[in-house]
Structure 1
Amino acid sequence: MRRVLLAVVALSATLAAGCDDAGASPAAQASTAPAAAAGGACQLLDFGMVNAKLGLNLSIAAGASMDNTFSCVLQAAGGSYPDLVLSVSTTSIGADVFGSDVQPKDAQTVDGLGLVGYQMQTPAAEKAGPGVEVGWLAGNKRIIKLSLRLAPGNADDKAAEAMPKMIELAKLIDLSSL
């Protein structure tokens, strides 16, 4: 189980690091292709749906897969943030193990999301603003994590405002992952 979690974290970090502005060539152009064309967990996302729910203008997608984990990063053209990261891993655990071993200790429960779900705010990091995270155990035996990181300089209340929107988006993704 911990290997699955480490794979999710490593793959998400690799994707996010690959989208950093440091040492970048000319700014990436927005794709006219659907997010699903990027592969990985991007197959569960649609730019229109995500942007409508979150009030963002994300237009670049990068997908990846490793073993039983699929990830996707969505970003706006020309910047690293905001970004949305989705990771999906197959599992054999039940709701009790998810709640005790996967869900962060300081997270709050989200009713009506998968078999069991959680939400939590994440603090600003060195080069990124605050964020929110929603995770759940889907009915089809998948651990799904959806994270939004805002641009540096955003206040924590902006992340708090995004939480209900992220939960709505997570519920749509949960339905599409069945």
Structure 2
Amino acid sequence: MPVVRRGLMAVFALSAVLVAGCDDAGASPAAKASTAPAAAAGGACQLLDFGMVNAKLGLNLGVAAGAQADNTFSCVLQASGASYPDLVLSVSTTTIGADVFASMIAPKDAAAVEGLGVAGYQMQTPAAGKAGPGVEVGWLAGNKRIIELSLRLAPGTPDDKAAEALPKVVELAKLIDLSSL
């Protein structure tokens, strides 16, 4: 679990860069916001494409920030000029197997996802802080990586919108899983 949580710390730093509206000159060298193709932002953004993400999720994300911390690569996608919705992807190398992933990494209240990596989970997440409700999908990829993909919606978004987004995020996760082989 510490590997994923370290990745989340990098993601929070990326979110701060995007929310603050820093241009590339104001961002740290490890986290730069970009309106170029998502892959150009580096980090886990290399696995994402704005067209693919927007088509799958029905969103208009167009700003990316990527980073690397130790063995974790992260990416945050947002709409231009808005903090939410945002899509967060983190990828960490690991040596664990499916049994450890299922018992130690996957949240206890998450549902299993068939056909996603070696083992996968999905769950809705409640509104928290300034973010609305969201969804999280995590999996252990066949190439020994723990991957987590989460979508946070705007504040005030009803929970049923997150429920509608969950199968779309699972489908996007399956596309990302194929691209990480």
TM-score band, normalised by shorter chain: over 0.9
* 2:154 match: secondary structure: coil
Q: Does 1:161 align with 2:160?
A: no
**Take 1:140 and 1:25, find their aligned partners in 2: how far apart are those partners?**
34
**Match of residue 122 from structure 2:** 119
**Take 2:115 and 2:103, find their aligned partners in 1: how far apart are those partners?**
18
The residue correspondences of 1:139-158 to structure 2 (distance < 5 A) are 139-158=142-161
**Match of residue 106 from structure 2:** 103
- Range with greater deviation from structure 2 (133-142 or 10-19): 10-19
The counterpart of 2:95, out of the listed 92, 96, 121, is 92
**Take 1:5 and 1:25, find their aligned partners in 2: how far apart are those partners?**
26
TM-score computed with the length of structure 1 as normaliser: 0.92
- Shift of the 156–114 alpha-carbon distance from structure 1 to 2, 3 Å rule, reads same
- Cα displacement (A) at 1:14: 1.7
**Match of residue 20 from structure 1:** 19
Shift >6 Å, 4+ stretches: none
**Match of residue 131 from structure 1:** 134
Name the % identity.
Answer: 73
Counterpart of 1:36, as a letter, is: A
Point out where structure 2 has 5 or more consecutive residues left out of the alignment: 24-32
**Take 2:16 and 2:110, find their aligned partners in 1: how far apart are those partners?**
25
After superposition, give the CA deviation of every residue in 1:83-130 in whole Å (9 maximum; x if it has no partner): 000000000000000000000000000000000000000000121100
The counterpart of 1:68, out of the listed 42, 59, 71, is 71
**Take 1:44 and 1:75, find their aligned partners in 2: how far apart are those partners?**
15
- Cα displacement (A) at 1:30: 7.6
**Take 1:156 and 1:114, find their aligned partners in 2: how far apart are those partners?**
27
* 1:57 match: secondary structure: coil
Aligned residues: 172
Contact 1:63 1:70 in 2 (8 A): yes
- Cα displacement (A) at 1:7: 1.0
Q: Does 1:5 align with 2:4?
A: yes
- Cα displacement (A) at 1:17: 2.7
TM-score computed with the length of structure 2 as normaliser: 0.91
- Cα displacement (A) at 1:43: 0.2
Contact 2:139 2:148 in 1 (8 A): yes
Counterpart of 2:177, as a letter, is: D
